[in-house]
Structure 1
Amino acid sequence: MIELRNVHFSYGGREILTGINITIEDGELFGFLGPNGAGKSTLMLHFNGILKPKRGKVLIDGVNPVKNPKEVRRKVGIVFQDPNDQLFSPTVFEDVAFGPYNLGLRGKELEERVMWALDKVGMAEYANRETKELSFGEKKRIAIATVLAMKPQIIVFDEPFANLDFRGKRLMRELMLELKGEGKTVILASHEADYLSLCDRIALMDRGRIITVGTPEEVLGNPELLREHNLDVPPLAELFLSLGLRVPRSAEEGRKLLEEWKRG
């Protein structure tokens, strides 16, 4: 369980986070939605102690990441928005191996862990490629593999859909659902409302505050609220709402809702 208790953070005299209170349950797929500058990325860096609250407290299964960073960072992995901030080794294999190597893995066990993580993101054949040769989307998948290779229980994605093409966004969505299906706690921060329908709950953020927390139907199904906070209303959400239907959580659910609507 993740608990944020009255978390405040300021930088350069400007308050970035103001009194964040929220609890995220084990195994939940939780989304933070908000416009650029809402404080989402800053909040993500509090989950494993990269940033320390100026006031308040963050607890990961009851453990404070600032006081016990080593313990928490075994549980919590963060995938940064820009993969170039996460990749630094000459080859893909070396990048993914770095974390497990520092956990003490060697030889066949290390190789198996690296290839497992690369296979998880569909990049096993890239193991011996030079990282600098990869496209942005490929780097993003390798960055995810570096986190998965540590086998954390909680995985945090900062703007995971940014700068990806449609196929890349679909693969990202599928991976998150797969991780949730394995019992992982998945947290994502995004300004793209279109892709948050997969979440169990969504926290709408703006100007360092949490405005509301609800299901995708409650948050994405409120066009006035989204527009008020400078967010685009997902086209599919607008379509279903115009038909008097709830916002679907998946394409399959959307098809079922439309079939029921057609039958009257």
Structure 2
Amino acid sequence: MAILEVSGLIHRFPDGTTALSGIDLVVREGEFVVVAGANGSGKTTFLRHLNALLLPHDGRVLVDGVSTADDPIRARRTVGMVFQDADSQIVGETVYDDVAFGPENLGLEPDRIHRRVTAAMAAVGLAGFEDQRPHLLSGGEKRRVAIAGILAMRSRVLVFDEPFSNLDYPGVRQVLAQIVALHRQGHTILLTTHDLEKVLAHADRLVVISAGRVARNGLPAETVKGIDALGVREPEASRNGMPLSSWLR
């Protein structure tokens, strides 16, 4: 069953520059899709259309069968996004307040908010962090706070824009483990990254965007071959002919 259906998506920046030039993509519920592309290829612009932060100038984006242009609020409840800069998503004075922000804006009663926040924090390994100040946490912990905020909204689709950016090795391992666990729990995952080695072995599909178009779309082991021609570094393991299963570590 398709949870995301994008057809003929065109987006132009205010100066008239075309950022997306007719994107077509279908994502099935429960898939793990990695989106790759060179800087300026349109990856982040594309992701922002999935939860109606941006609306198409032409074409359409359907979230669970409903156009984002017709019901952007529904799209934002279904599709949660973790931005590259986790600090930009922090709005609460404490971790608990930050994770509770979304459910509070849904108008839920306090006991339901508490249950959602408690469950979301436990799911990302942040139980006991309720009273900590989020801006003082490590990079990996901030990303997990952002993920918890999305989980508290009960988002079925989780979108991550460069989730490993500026993280040290322990932070990368923490965040990757959470993303993989969320996929195993049934969430649909879309993720952009410049470092395919970290995540590609966990993915169902690799989509490559180049110059605002889908240039490749297929099984990771096949699609990654020769990806350098599209401005994305092909992992050494792929160059050496190692199977994807051997990348897991």
- Verify: 1:251 aligned to 2:248, yes or no: yes
Q: TM-score, normalised by structure 1?
A: 0.87
CA distance in 2, matches of 1:52, 1:107: 33
Calculate percent identity across the aligned residue pairs: 36
Q: With structure 2 as the length reference, what TM-score do the two structures score?
A: 0.92
Alignment of 1:52-91 (within 5 A): 52-91=55-94
Name the CA distance, whole Å, in 2 between partners of 1:71 and 1:227. 38
For the 8 Å contact 1:78–1:155, the answer to whether it is kept is yes
Contact map agreement 1:198 1:250 (CA 8 A) in 2: no
TM-superposed deviation, 1:153 = 0.8
Does residue 217 of structure 1 match 2:217? no
Equivalent position amino acid for 1:158 in 2:
D
User: Does the aligned pair in 1 maintain the 2:141–2:171 contact within 8 Å?
Assistant: no
Q: CA deviation at 1:173?
A: 2.3
CA distance in 1, matches of 2:56, 2:244: 35
Superposed, 1:113-262 pairs within 5 Å as: 113-194=116-197, 195-220=199-224, 222=225, 225-239=226-240, 241=241, 245-248=242-245, 251=248
Residue 202 of structure 1 aligns to which amino acid in structure 2? L
Is contact 1:35-1:230 (8 Å) kept?
Answer: yes
CA–CA distance in structure 1, aligned partners of residues 234 and 76 of structure 2: 35
Q: CA deviation at 1:250?
A: 5.4
Root-mean-square deviation (CA), in Å?
A: 1.7
**Distance change (3 Å), C-alpha of 1:9 and 1:209:** same
1:9 aligns with 2:11: yes
Whole-angstrom distance in 1 between the partners of 2:52 and 2:131: 32
Distance 1:3 1:249 in 2: 32
Mapped to 2, the partners of 1:33 and 1:197 lie a distance apart of 14
Given that 1:9 and 1:18 are in contact with CA atoms closer than 8 Å, whether structure 2 keeps it comes out as yes
Aligned to 1:38: 41
Query: Residues 9-55 of structure 1: CA distance to partner in whole angstroms, max 9, x if unpaired?
Result: 11021111111001101111111111111111100000011101111
Q: Which runs of 5+ in 1 are unaligned?
A: 253-264
Change (3 A) 1:191 1:174: same
Q: Number of aligned residue pairs: give it.
A: 245
Amino acid at match of 2:205: R
Distance in 2 between residues matched to 1:37 and 1:177, nearest whole Å:
27
Q: What SS is found at the alignment partner of 1:46?
A: helix
